[in-house]
Amino acid sequence: MKIKAQIAMVINLDKCIGCHTCSVTCKNTWTNRSGAEYMWFNNVETKPGAGYPDQWEDQQRYKGGWHLRKGQLTLRSGFRWQGLSLSRIFYNPNSPTIDDYYEPWTYDYQKLLKSPVRRHMPTARPQSLLTGEYIEKLRKGPNWDDDLAGGPQAGGRDPNLRDLLGEEVRLEFEKAFMLYLPRLCEHCLNPGCVASCPSGAIYKRDEDGIVLVDQEKCRGWRYCTSGCPYKKVYYNWKTYKAEKCTFCYPRVEEGVATVCSETCPGRLRYMGVLLYDADRVPQAAAQPDEQALYQAQLELFLDPHDPAVIAQARRDGIQEDWLAAAQKSPVYKLAVQYGLALPLHPEFRTLPMVWYIPPLSPMVSVLEFRASGSVTTGFFPTLEQMRAPVQYLANFLTGGNPQPVERALRRLLGMRHFMRSLENGQENQEQLLETIGLSEQTVRHMYRLLAVAKYEDRIVIPLAHREESRKAHQEQGKVGYAL
């Protein structure tokens, strides 16, 4: 057993209001420069919808992530040496094009500022940031289908709806459902981008698990772009280098939250340390049953309170402050202890480390609780009344397995019902607690973490130990293949 530490994140979809504050602040911090106009390290998508880039979840089209071939874990697009064949080295057919993202534009504001007095109001035409030419018709943007603006046509292109037909999913306006999905780099335990890069320019940091791009080694092959199933590696057309979400590593090294977490008005992001067994990562990623991949990844995470785990972690070089942070980690509580957070598309087999709590709002807003208030006849049948079908949530959170989603939703509903009962003086809720499989103390802790947690409870990041870092120039040129 080899224990490593990973900085991870949990996003509570039940509290996301789709304000795009995280996207704008991230954009202004990291990609507000030439060549990166179309890049959004963090973006918020409306589901159901095609997303950004267009239909990024369709791996039959983009060939991202991993799959099993004759029982062996293999990149869908081929390993780095397979990609270096002469027939494909300068042509990557699986890489998304600028049309799959959008052509970034600005407006000719000088025409407004310098326009002379005239009879009609002057107008500013959209102007491409790539070519400088005027765009006659805007066809796509970073959140083009926001709030179901594309209607049934856009929602019907969501790959997660393929298996949900007929009466189960209704895209008519009066019966539509939607939810917001903030997305960023998953900083996976088994990243496809790292395995895809012919130059070895993308690497996963050993000390905190953050995946970064070495700009000196990058040769612009763009196999990382196709190898990432979440399409969170971008190509800078001006520098000819790959760029991606850095998890705000300069801030994380100082124990400060990422920009998206810091500026979120809803306080829906949680950050903390997870301890995992690195030796079992290949075995977990190679789980034959796609619906069992969530449980396989969950079993990788180790109990930071276990004396045997603590002793082994110390032998593997984990510092005491990191062990203490892992014991207080809100990510461990939400993902492992409470079973609320779920991984995004575990069937991609990259073992993502940004997890999501499924939303209740599309359902609770339309519920009519019965006067009896009983557990079996008045409360839990409402789970089947969700506007957002459980199977739809399972298609992008658990690889199609609805049971973990149902468990998380039942516990969230049970927590709300239990806390409301306490406020109303109804203290005998043993049957409810037994049904959701949690103790009263656990439900109270879960409520505090989800509803009234302070900053230091949501963000638990230890300081980086830079004194242990090697000198980077001594390692230069020892990894990868460059031309």
Q: Enumerate residues 6+ apart whose C-beta is below 8 A from 231.
A: 53, 56, 62, 64, 96, 225
Number of neighbours of residue 100 by Cβ within 10 angstroms:
17
The pLDDT score that the predictor gives to residue 171 is 52
pLDDT higher for 354 or 93? 354
* Structure tokens belonging to residue 230: 């979440």
Res. 83 pLDDT band, cuts 50 70 90: very low
User: What's the mean pLDDT in 151-179?
Assistant: 64
Tell me, what DSSP letter sits at residue 384?
G
The pLDDT score that the predictor gives to residue 373 is 42
User: What's the mean pLDDT in 400-415?
Assistant: 90
The whole-angstrom separation of Cα 54 and Cα 50 is 5
Res. 479 pLDDT band, cuts 50 70 90: low
Among 167-176, 196-205, 244-253, the minimum mean pLDDT is found in: 167-176
Residue range 1-104+137-467 in CATH 3.90.79.10? no
pLDDT tens for residues 287-346?
999 999 999 999 999 999 999 999 999 999 999 999 999 999 999 999 999 999 999 999
**202-204 and 342-343 as β-strands: parallel, antiparallel, unpaired?**
unpaired
Give the start-end residues of each E strand in 70-213: 72-75, 105-107, 126-128, 179-183, 202-204, 211-213
Kindly tell me the burial class for residue 453, based on how many C-beta atoms sit within 10 Å of its own C-beta (0-12, 13-18, 19 or more). middle
Phi, psi of 183 (to 5 degrees): -130, 140
The whole-angstrom separation of Cα 128 and Cα 138 is 10
The pLDDT score that the predictor gives to residue 103 is 93
Domain ranges of the chain: 1-104+137-467
Q: Is 424 in contact with 449 (CB distance < 8 Å)?
A: no
CA distances from 130 to 141, 234, 243, 318, 411 (A): 14, 15, 18, 46, 49
Res. 147 pLDDT band, cuts 50 70 90: confident
Q: Is 188 in contact with 279 (CB distance < 8 Å)?
A: no
- Please determine, for residue 378, whether its predicted confidence score (pLDDT) is greater than 50: no
- Please determine, for residue 478, whether its predicted confidence score (pLDDT) is greater than 80: no
Residue 73: strand pairing partners: 68
The pLDDT score that the predictor gives to residue 98 is 92
User: What's the mean pLDDT in 175-195?
Assistant: 90
Q: Is 438 in contact with 414 (CB distance < 8 Å)?
A: yes
Sign (positive or negative) of CA dihedral 198, 248, 333, 340:
negative
Amino acid identity of residue 246, one-letter, is T
Residue ranges of alpha helices (H) inside 161-222 are 192-196
The pTM for the full model equals 0.89
Q: Could you give the 3-state DSSP secondary structure of residue 98?
A: helix
Res. 202 pLDDT band, cuts 50 70 90: very high
Share of the chain above pLDDT 70, in %: 84
- Please determine, for residue 374, whether its predicted confidence score (pLDDT) is greater than 50: no
User: What's the mean pLDDT in 279-286?
Assistant: 94
Tell me, what DSSP letter sits at residue 156?
T
HEC per residue, 294-305: HHHHHCCECCCC
pLDDT tens for residues 217-253?
999 888 999 999 999 999 999 999 999 999 999 999 9
Q: Is 383 in contact with 413 (CB distance < 8 Å)?
A: yes
Tell me, what DSSP letter sits at residue 463?
P
pLDDT tens for residues 454-476?
999 999 999 988 765 555 455 55
Return mean pLDDT, the chain.
Answer: 85
Residue ranges of alpha helices (H) inside 116-268 are 151-155, 192-196, 223-227, 249-252, 259-263
284 closest CA partner among 271, 296, 266 = 296
Phi, psi of 213 (to 5 degrees): -115, 125
Residue 180: strand pairing partners: 46
User: What's the mean pLDDT in 77-99?
Assistant: 71
The pLDDT score that the predictor gives to residue 368 is 39
Q: Enumerate residues 6+ apart whose C-beta is below 8 A from 18.
A: 44, 46, 146, 147, 180
Q: Could you give the 3-state DSSP secondary structure of residue 393?
A: helix
Q: Is 380 in contact with 418 (CB distance < 8 Å)?
A: no
The pLDDT score that the predictor gives to residue 334 is 95
Among 53-57, 75-79, 441-445, the minimum mean pLDDT is found in: 75-79
Res. 166 pLDDT band, cuts 50 70 90: low
